[in-house]
Structures are given as C-alpha cells and as structure tokens.
Structure 1
Amino acid sequence: MLPTILDLSSLRAAYKSGLTPLDLIEEVIARRAASKDPAIFIAATPEEDLRSQARDLMARAPEPNSLPLWGIPFAVKDNIDAAGLPTTAACPAFAYDPTVDSTVVARLKAAGALVIGKTNLDQFATGLNGTRSPYGAPRSVFDPAYVSGGSSSGSAVAVASGLATFALGTDTAGSGRVPAAFNNLVGIKPTPGLVPNVGVVPACRSVDVVTVFATTVGDGVAIRKVMEGYDAADPFSRQAVPATLPAAGLRIGVLESTEREFFGNRDVETLYDAAIERAKSLGATIVPFDYAPFRQAAELLYNGPWVAERLAAVKDFLTSNADDFDPTVRTIIEGAKAYDAVAAFEGKYKLEALRQKTKTEWKKVDILLLPTAPTTYTVEEMLADPIVKNGHFGRYTNFVNLYDYAAIAIPAGFGRNGLPGGVTLIGPTFTDDALAPFADAMHRALRAGMGKDKTAPLPEASRVAPLDDGFVPIVVVGAHLTGMPLNHELTGPGGYRLKTCRTAADYRLFVLPNTVPPKPGLIREPGFDGNGLEVEVWALPPAAFGNFVQKIPGPLGIGKVTLEDGSSVSGFLCEAHAVTGAEEVTALGGWRAYVRAKNASATV
C-alpha cells in the first residue's frame, strides 16, 4: 500500500518491490476521484492517456527506476505548456492547445516522469493567494476555509494532498514559495535563468522562474537538476556559475525587531523565532540585518514600473478581451498604463541604488532566513480585500527575483489553529546547490512532516549531503557523538555533522572496560541479524582528520563502517579480542541509548 505522501524515495522503493507505473496510475486516478477539492486541476490528464503514458514508459525503459524520474507522477501549472493538454493561464478565452512541451516538461518526461494534469492558478500568475481564477479557488489542505496561496495554487495542493510527487509552479513575486508555506511543502525557487522558461506564459518575463513543489528538499533539488540547463531559445537563460557557501558556521541574517511585520499573526512569528533557534542549534551564527533595502525593492514589483511587464505579456489579448479578465487581475495589469518609459528607467535606477545598499548587509551574512509569508487569510477575508491582503503575503518574497537570488522555502511547523507556517532560506546568485544542505537540515530539525501528513518522517534517502569541500567523512559511535564528552575534538578543528543514521544490521556494540570517559567497542559480525546501531557521520578538514586518527588509542582504530544504505565510510571499529567478557549493549540500539539507560539507573 502506498503512503499518503508520494515522495520520491517511497515510490522508488515501491517500484523496486514490484509496483508498476500502471499500478501507480490507477492509484492516482482513484485519489483524483476521491479528492474533496474540485479546484485543483483545470485540465486533468484523461485516464486512458495516463495509462498510455505508463505503458509507453514501460516499453521505453522496462527496468524499474532505470530513469531518474521513472514512473514519477507530476502536475504542471497551467501557464506551462504540456502537449496534449490546453494552456489557459486560468483564462478560458485565452486558451490554446500546445503541440510541443515546454522545455522543462520535455526534460521531465524524458527522465521518466508522468504528467497527471494542468493545475489551477491565479489568472495570468497575478496574485499570491489562489482565489483569482474562474475555475475556483483551491484551498489549504489543512482547512478549506483558508486560501491555498498562489499563484501556483493547484500545484501546491496536488502535492500536499498526495496526488503527485511534485508539481511545477512559477514564481515572480513568491508564487513558488507562498503556496509551499500554506501547504507544508518545500518550494524550490531557482536563481532566475537557471531553469528555461521556453513554453511558459510570462508574468514578468525578465524575472519569472519555473519552480518545484516537493515534500523534501532532496526531492526538489533532484527534480530541479533534471529541468535546469541553458536553452538558447530563452533570451534570459544563463549558464550557471555555481557559488559556494561556508560548509559550517553559516552567518544567517534574520529580521531586526523594527522590520518585523506579521499583521497580527503571533503564531507565524512564534514559528519564525523557533526556526531561528533551530538554525542556531545547527551551528549557524545569527545576525540581525537591515531589511529596509530589500523591503523597498519588494515594493517596486507591484507598486512600480515592473507592473508594465505584466501588461507587455498580455497587451494584445487585453485590448480585445478585457471583459474576460478576473476583475482584480485586470485592475492590476491596467495599472501599468500609469507608467511610461521614463518611469521604467527611474525604477531601474532605484533598484540599483537599493542593490548597492544591500551589499553592506551581505558583508555581514552568508544567507538570509525570512518568514515565507507573514500571515494567512480565509478565502472570505481575501475576497473582501483582495489587493491589500494579497500584498501582505509578498512582504518577504517580492524582492528575491529582482535581486537575482536563489531561495528554498521549507515548512516551519504549525500554529495553535493547526495551520502551517514556513520560512525561506535566501542566498546570492547561483547558490542553489549550496543552500540545499542547510535547508534540508533545517526541515528535518523542525519536524513538520510532509504535506498534509504532519507526522511523516522525512526519508533518509532524500537527505541532502553537503557539497564536496575536501573534508573527510568519519563515522563516530560513542563519546564523540553530539553532546558527548569528546565531541569537541570534532568541532574544535572545524568539523561538522553530516547526518545521524544507522549501521548495517550485522554490527554489535560493547562497553569497553576501564575507559575514561566510557567508550564503546563496535565490531562487525557477518551473519549477525540485528537492527543496526545509531551513529553519526561527521566531516573533518583533511589535516584534522590525520591528527585525529593518530590520537586514537588501542584497541580502537579506523576502518570501513557499512551504513544502512549500503555505503561505507571510515569510522571507529574495535579489535574483536577487546570485547571478550565486555558488557554488550547492542539491543539498546546505540551508545546514546546506553548512556541514557545508565544515567536513569543511577538516579533510582
């Protein structure tokens, strides 16, 4: 039986165990039919077409998981072309039938992914709330009274409700991030130009970005990597020059008290504070920064000449079909008529002046940590005040594409009303890969689950490993674990924790006698059928690794430790003779559990 949330690793494991893409498609069909939100899709892929996709994939690549996204179901925001399904941009009179896929959809299909339908959006991608569509308003998966976020509304709800593994959105002002926050998802917003926009109906062509909604950072990054790459047919496409971030000790910029605005939503503010503390616990240095030059740039996107780009995208259609526009969308786009070429240049000058001011702030920090959206509203509240309340959602998102930044939105937990909040990690141009390890670590540490499943554990297989920085990984078992007496021997020379995991099943753990502080002995016994032991994998600078190994006392030494995922990493092992007669603690599952048990017995 498939889990509620169709993350990549769960589906790959199911395929490895005998599930077929046809089986999966039947499940998707059943889930679509059972969905209680009729506004998710504008055009669902017909059932027989879904089955044909699955059969074609099995004929083209019969071996399970033989393609990067073999048999993975995904949804497409309906301003992105997918051949065989109409593109409407949530305006029926604008609809056309594309004969070829957009670049991103073509790349995903080639990787084995299956299109399950075109999703709803704020018309012409104008809005952050999800109510501006003649096809209805998708709702939060946690409370149907509340907005789903937009403009990529249907895409977020499709993933969060378990209909798709991932979905494509677009992001101009936050449309690939705000719906992620409102539906407990990850939103991957690439640096502008990293992912091609060929076959995408533009909102603001110069800053638009195709985004990914996923349930984990690892899934989202893997999908983004399939889509990315230069496309000469897109005038804004660029060859990426990956930027780096410190592997440890990140300086993270957070809001000063004078720049905090949550519009009365204390729950979201509390979640933001908790995320800051979690970042600190992961080794980050927290640095308040001046948000003013970022906020002032954000105001330009809707209250400046960039609105004219929205008119440029649909000016001919607006001339002939003005009455076919959503009234709020029409008001916003027609507002562009107030700007002329002089205003456009003046806006550009103001943006560059603000960019100069941001450079002072970037000298203080490596990345920013901001609330994704400062509050949320019910559909009724949004419809009563659609422009002002929509503007609240973009307070911490609108500037990001104007400044050419990368961003990853992650879940941050739930408020007292059961609604989720989110935070976004923002980095300089082309830090897309460099942001991912810390974003993933934050998501795991905040324990918010995935989509509508608030308690779902994040799969270990989707964990994002730090980028190769030349550090040497080492498995630690006992006194060097986080919080244990010798952990300083790892942190002192600049080491950092990569992950907590388990060994393969055939390892045993003993308490070595006469050791101070107490130390364990880990040995491997082929044929032993255990449950594996909890360990940590750390990374050390090469010189520190050499010094560290030289100081290891016998009977301990360094050898290859096989982990539960089959990988082998250098780590602490013990000579077998040294555990003769020693207390075995294998059944406790690890050294930390042994220490807890020992301390508990000492207090009785």
Structure 2
Amino acid sequence: MVIVTIWITKFAPDTVARFAATAPDGPLAGVRFAVKDNLDIAGYPTTAACPDLADRPAATTATAVRRLMDAGAVPIGKTNLDQFATGLVGTRTPYGACHSVHSPEHISGGSSSGSAVAVAAGLVPLALGTDTAGSGRVPAAFNGIVGIKPTRGLVSTRGLLPACRSLDCVTTFTRTVAEGAAALDVLTWADPEDPWSRPVPPAPPPGVASRLRTVAVPAGDLDLDPAHRVAWQAALRRLDTVAAQVVPVDIGAFLAAAALLYGGPWVAQRWSAFGAYLSGAGVDPTVRSIVTPGRDVTGPAVFEAWERLAELRRQTERIWLDVDALLLPVTPTHPTLAEVAADPVGVNSRLGTYTNFVNLLDLCAVAVPADARTDGLPFGVQFIAPAFADAPLLDLAARWCGEPTRVDDRPPAGTTLVAVVGAHLTGMPLNRQLVALGGRLHARARTAAGYRLYRLPGSGVARPGLVFTGDGPDDGIAVEVWQLPHQAVGALLDSIPAPLGLGPLRLDDDTTVIGFLASEHGVRDAQDVSAAGGWRAALRADPA
C-alpha cells in the first residue's frame, strides 16, 4: 500500500541518478533514503509542511543528511510531517494526512509521518526523522518498523528547522535494528558548529553497562486501550525470554516529567523557533493555536518548570541504579483519522504519555515492533536507557527482534570480570575505586541460588558480606559485574578488609567470575539481610 501524501518534494529520476553517480563508496553505498522536510538539502526548500516556506531553497545541506551522503547513501526526496514538527498524529499538514500502511482508517503517527511510511511501504530502507516528544517513535510503532532516538546531541541538528531546540533529536527509521545501527554509526559525530552537539564520552557514564540484562517495567496498570492492553501483556511475556531479570518499578516520576512538556513552558521555545511564521496563510490552525501561547510564557514560569524537572530527574536517577533499561508501550492507543479530527489536541496529547519524558530527562530510546494487536494493527514498544547507552541499548533491541547482536559477552583482552555486591556498587561510596582503577560496568546480574547476604558490624562505610551457604534465596542476590584491567585486581584486593576477600562466585547464568565474598566465621554475628535481595534494597529497608 503506497500513501500518496508521503512526499512534499520527490526528486526526479535524473536528480536521484546524479546523486547516485557522485556518491562515494562508503559504508552506506547505494542506500536510498528519505529526508523529513524540516532538514535542509541544498537547492531545495525546507517547508516543515508550511507552504509559505516553499519558495526558499536551502543554501546548505543539514549535517545529518550530508554525513549519510558522504557515506554513499542517496537521497530520493523530502517527506511529509506534522507542520513544524508539532504533533504526534501525522494529520497537521496541508500536504495531506498520512495513514498507517496497515490501515487507511488509522493515523500514521507523527510528526515524522512521511519518513516512517516511506520505510514501512518499502520505498526506501532508511529515512531520517526527528524526535522532540516522540516523533521518531510513534510513527515507527504505528507502522511496524524500528525507530531509533539517540541521546540528545549525538547526531548534529545543524540544518534542522527546529521545533524545540534544546530537545530536538535527528532519528532514523529502518526495517531492522541492524540497518538503523549502521546509519547511526555514520550519523554520530560531535559537530563543532552545533552548540547542542555532544561528543561520545571516551568511557560510558557510570551505571551504563556493556550488556543490558536487567529491564524495568511499570509496577502498576497503564492507561491503555483494550487492544493495546492485550498486546502489552504479550510483550511482557516476550520480555521474559529476552531479559535476564525483569524488575517492576514505579514510573510516576517519568510520567510527571512527560506532563511538563505539553503543560509547561517549553511551548515558548517553539514560539522562539518558528513563531514568526505563524501568521502566514499556510499555517495549520491547530499548530497555530498550540504554539501562539508560547509568546506569553513568563520567565518565572520557565524556571519553575526547570526546577520541577530537576526534582523529577533526581527521582528517576534512583531507578537507573538498579536497572539497565525501561520497557514501555510507545503509545496508549492507535487512533483513527476520524478520532483525531474530532479532538485534535486531546488525542495528540494522550499519544505522548509514554514518549514525552525521554528527551526532557536526557535518555535514549529505540522503538521496535512487538506482536500485532488482536485487530491486526501493529503494536510497538520502546526500550529506554540513560544518555550514551545507545550502543548496548541497540544490542538489547536486536535481541528483542531476533537479530544478531554486536556486543561481545567476553571481556576485552587484558581484563577480568569482578562481581561486586556492596559498597562498590554504582552510586555507593567505594564505586569510585573501581572507576579510578579503569573499571567499567559489564553487566547487572544476580548470583546463582544458595548465597546469603549479611550486614557486617563495624563503623565507617557500611559493608555486606556474601557467603555461599547452599540455602540462600532461589533468585539469588543482586550484584554488578565489572571488567577491570588484570593489574587492577591486585590493587583492589589489597584494599579489601577482613572478613572480605575475592573468590569464585557463580552467577545466575551459570558462569563463574571473581567476586567479593566473606568467610563464614566472619558473618557469625552479622545480620542476615538476604530477604532484601541485594545490598541497595537492604539499605533502603533499613539505612541504620
């Protein structure tokens, strides 16, 4: 099924042939791709779906587009979108609303509607979109494809007509995770001329593991329509086959942050970006009504919202101490075109329930297809992780999709895996020792059954002792596995006080690593805290 409203500018065959003839022999040689029409291509207008801008050809090509072309990819046209990238529905455009490739009655999602549909319809294997509130994930979910929303600043936004400059991300749409990862490899670059660009850190931030094994899911019920709810339950069952541990968590702080985007002062940044165009004849009335109030946002309102966001960010940071990624549905529902027409603002706002917080909280995400709904419509889920966890997050998404992974479970040559259980965990007082020794978090894990955890007596830094007794909890004790240079293991051992030491420790996947253990006689007078399941949980239950 081909939707005729995909394109705003479709390049003529001779133009595409000219691009192809001059394309270098790079890693994406010959790959045709589509470009959302809020990204510049020199010589062609960037309309952002506003006809008033159709007579203004761009002088230069957006950095993201240029990097794909320099890698051998060939652009074939510029795609439709919710005007000024303001919407998650794909209907706020005078160029005609797109619909899902799976149903002419249901919306395509937006704002990157044309780009997603072009990939889903098989017209191109790759398309560029953008994502401020979910525009790179919602249309992926509604069309059964993969949408990668990288860490903010990982991909340059120079040459993008912004929606909300501090939050905008350039995204990819592909049919597979592997294709998206290959494109992201090319797109990733610290652009010195983009003030919002950020370099990939030489080492991942503390708490970002090489392999993501522990996935959080919402602890309570979600706001989902009936068909979505059935599909979500199936997705949770599927997760049990992908993740080593599934951890229910309270997502209230994430949802509260999401509510800030549409209910807070960020609309003022949209007004700053394109408010000057909103008086034009070609402006969508819904877009105008949403963004115009941004001109009246006060300074105090901005700072109040930033302070509230900081509070919520701190609350969510506690969750990331225990898990690698969060799995959520992309949307609560899949509306019809008629439902959006009847309530264009309300339906759109609900669609952002599970996507709006991601950029506000500086997270990365990838939307992937799950099993279809009972009515045959596609259902998409998203894996979300902290900033700069992009590479291992894509590996997790590949495992979900049954694709080959790019992360090697084996530690790099010259390193040893060491399991820590207490004061050396991420965020704990002695974790800095591991970082100073050149350590990197390899994976969150649990011990095999049979281990017990004890709170050791004494002053100073609170420490636990882990002992194999044979009768410990069947689901083990939470640990972190770190990779350390060989020479660092000796230095670490020298710093460990009795009754602790290093010895062989069996994990829940039946592998054995070196780990922190206590002698049995050393825990005779210690409190057994095994029921908490881990040291961090034990401290939360009884911090004394």
**TM norm structure 1:** 0.67
Residue 486 (structure 2) aligns with: none
**Residue type of the alignment partner of 1:254:** V
Q: Could you tell me which of 361, 364, 367 is aligned with 1:406? A: 364
**Contact 1:85–1:118 (Cα < 8 Å) also in 2:** no
Provide the secondary structure at the position in 2 that maps to 1:254.
strand
Residue 352 (structure 1) aligns with: 310
**Contact 1:67–1:111 (Cα < 8 Å) also in 2:** yes
**1:261 has 2:223 as partner:** yes
Provide the secondary structure at the position in 2 that maps to 1:187.
strand
Residue 45 (structure 1) aligns with: 11
Displacement of 1:110 in angstroms is: 0.6
**Contact 2:2–2:101 (Cα < 8 Å) also in 1:** no
The unaligned stretches of length 5 or more in structure 2 are 414-448, 450-475, 482-508, 516-544
Displacement of 1:54 in angstroms is: 2.3
**Contact 2:211–2:409 (Cα < 8 Å) also in 1:** no
Residue 81 (structure 1) aligns with: 40
Q: Could you tell me which of 324, 327, 334 is aligned with 2:285? A: 327
**Contact 2:257–2:309 (Cα < 8 Å) also in 1:** yes
**1:140-179: CA deviations, max 9, x gaps?**
0001111000000000000000000110000000000000
Q: What is the alpha-carbon distance in structure 2 between the residues aligned to residue 301 and residue 154 of structure 1? A: 24
Aligned residues: CA RMSD: 2.6
**Contact 2:275–2:291 (Cα < 8 Å) also in 1:** no
Residue 470 (structure 1) aligns with: 411
Distance 1:283 1:324, change over 3 A: closer
Displacement of 1:303 in angstroms is: 0.9
Q: Which moved more, 1:278-287 or 1:83-92?
A: 278-287
Displacement of 1:108 in angstroms is: 0.5
**1:69 has 2:28 as partner:** yes
Residue 289 (structure 1) aligns with: 249
**Contact 2:231–2:374 (Cα < 8 Å) also in 1:** no
What pairs with 1:306-321 in structure 2 (closer than 5 Å)?
306-318=266-278, 321=279
Q: What is the alpha-carbon distance in structure 1 between the residues aligned to residue 151 and residue 211 of structure 2? A: 23
Distance 1:469 1:328, change over 3 A: farther
Residue 442 (structure 1) aligns with: 400
What pairs with 1:31-430 in structure 2 (closer than 5 Å)?
36-57=2-23, 61=24, 66-95=25-54, 96-241=56-201, 242-243=204-205, 245-246=208-209, 250-258=213-221, 260-262=222-224, 265-318=225-278, 321-430=279-388
Q: What is the alpha-carbon distance in structure 2 between the residues aligned to residue 167 and residue 539 of structure 1? A: 42
**Contact 2:45–2:53 (Cα < 8 Å) also in 1:** no
Residue 432 (structure 1) aligns with: 390
Provide the secondary structure at the position in 2 that maps to 1:146.
strand
Provide the secondary structure at the position in 2 that maps to 1:335.
helix
**1:540-560: CA deviations, max 9, x gaps?**
67889xxxxxxxxxxxxxxxx
Q: What is the alpha-carbon distance in structure 2 between the residues aligned to residue 471 and residue 234 of structure 1? A: 34
**Contact 1:367–1:425 (Cα < 8 Å) also in 2:** yes
**1:530-585: CA deviations, max 9, x gaps?**
xxxxxxxx9967889xxxxxxxxxxxxxxxxxxxxxxxxxxxxxxxxxxxxxxxxx
Provide the secondary structure at the position in 2 that maps to 1:274.
helix
Provide the secondary structure at the position in 2 that maps to 1:112.
coil
Q: What is the alpha-carbon distance in structure 1 between the residues aligned to residue 233 and residue 210 of structure 2? A: 23
Q: What is the alpha-carbon distance in structure 2 between the residues aligned to residue 400 and residue 229 of structure 1? A: 21
Q: What is the alpha-carbon distance in structure 1 between the residues aligned to residue 53 and residue 42 of structure 2? A: 16
Q: What is the alpha-carbon distance in structure 1 between the residues aligned to residue 357 and residue 233 of structure 2? A: 22
**Contact 2:52–2:281 (Cα < 8 Å) also in 1:** no
The unaligned stretches of length 5 or more in structure 1 are 1-34, 445-459, 473-487, 497-537, 545-604
Q: What is the alpha-carbon distance in structure 2 between the residues aligned to residue 286 and residue 398 of structure 1? A: 23
Q: What is the alpha-carbon distance in structure 1 between the residues aligned to residue 360 and residue 236 of structure 2? A: 25
Q: Which moved more, 1:241-250 or 1:175-184?
A: 241-250
**Contact 1:471–1:539 (Cα < 8 Å) also in 2:** no
Displacement of 1:225 in angstroms is: 1.2
Q: What is the alpha-carbon distance in structure 2 between the residues aligned to residue 150 and residue 192 of structure 1? A: 19
Residue 470 (structure 2) aligns with: none
**Residue type of the alignment partner of 1:79:** N
**Contact 1:129–1:151 (Cα < 8 Å) also in 2:** yes
Q: What is the alpha-carbon distance in structure 2 between the residues aligned to residue 348 and residue 414 of structure 1? A: 38
**Contact 1:249–1:285 (Cα < 8 Å) also in 2:** no
Provide the secondary structure at the position in 1 that maps to 2:195.
coil
Displacement of 1:74 in angstroms is: 0.2
**1:407-428: CA deviations, max 9, x gaps?**
0110012112110011100001
Displacement of 1:257 in angstroms is: 2.0
Q: More helix per residue: 1 or 2?
A: 1
Displacement of 1:363 in angstroms is: 2.8
Count of residues in Structure 1 that have an aligned counterpart in Structure 2: 424
**Residue type of the alignment partner of 1:397:** T
Displacement of 1:248 in angstroms is: 5.8
**1:289-348: CA deviations, max 9, x gaps?**
111111111111111001111100012223xx3443101100110121341111111110
**Residue type of the alignment partner of 1:44:** K
Q: What is the alpha-carbon distance in structure 2 between the residues aligned to residue 67 and residue 539 of structure 1? A: 42
**Contact 1:182–1:421 (Cα < 8 Å) also in 2:** yes
Displacement of 1:367 in angstroms is: 1.1
Residue 587 (structure 1) aligns with: none
**Residue type of the alignment partner of 1:194:** L
**Residue type of the alignment partner of 1:420:** P
**Contact 1:434–1:467 (Cα < 8 Å) also in 2:** no
Provide the secondary structure at the position in 2 that maps to 1:369.
strand
**Contact 1:254–1:369 (Cα < 8 Å) also in 2:** yes
Distance 1:443 1:309, change over 3 A: same
Displacement of 1:84 in angstroms is: 3.0
Q: What is the alpha-carbon distance in structure 1 between the residues aligned to residue 168 and residue 408 of structure 2? A: 27
Q: What is the alpha-carbon distance in structure 1 between the residues aligned to residue 61 and residue 322 of structure 2? A: 43
**Residue type of the alignment partner of 1:68:** P
**Contact 1:145–1:378 (Cα < 8 Å) also in 2:** yes
**1:46-79: CA deviations, max 9, x gaps?**
111112222333xxx5xxxx42001000000000
What pairs with 1:555-594 in structure 2 (closer than 5 Å)?
none
**Contact 2:119–2:173 (Cα < 8 Å) also in 1:** yes
**Contact 1:470–1:541 (Cα < 8 Å) also in 2:** no
Q: What is the alpha-carbon distance in structure 2 between the residues aligned to residue 177 and residue 539 of structure 1? A: 36
Q: What is the alpha-carbon distance in structure 2 between the residues aligned to residue 134 and residue 322 of structure 1? A: 13
**1:480-508: CA deviations, max 9, x gaps?**
xxxxxxxx9xxx9x9x9xxxxxxxxxxxx
Q: What is the alpha-carbon distance in structure 1 between the residues aligned to residue 3 and residue 228 of structure 2? A: 25
**1:451-505: CA deviations, max 9, x gaps?**
xxxxxxxxx6xx2222565179xxxxxxxxxxxxxxx9xxx9x9x9xxxxxxxxx
Q: What is the alpha-carbon distance in structure 1 between the residues aligned to residue 130 and residue 141 of structure 2? A: 15
Residue 569 (structure 1) aligns with: none
Q: What is the alpha-carbon distance in structure 2 between the residues aligned to residue 390 and residue 208 of structure 1? A: 18
**Residue type of the alignment partner of 1:53:** F
**TM norm structure 2:** 0.74
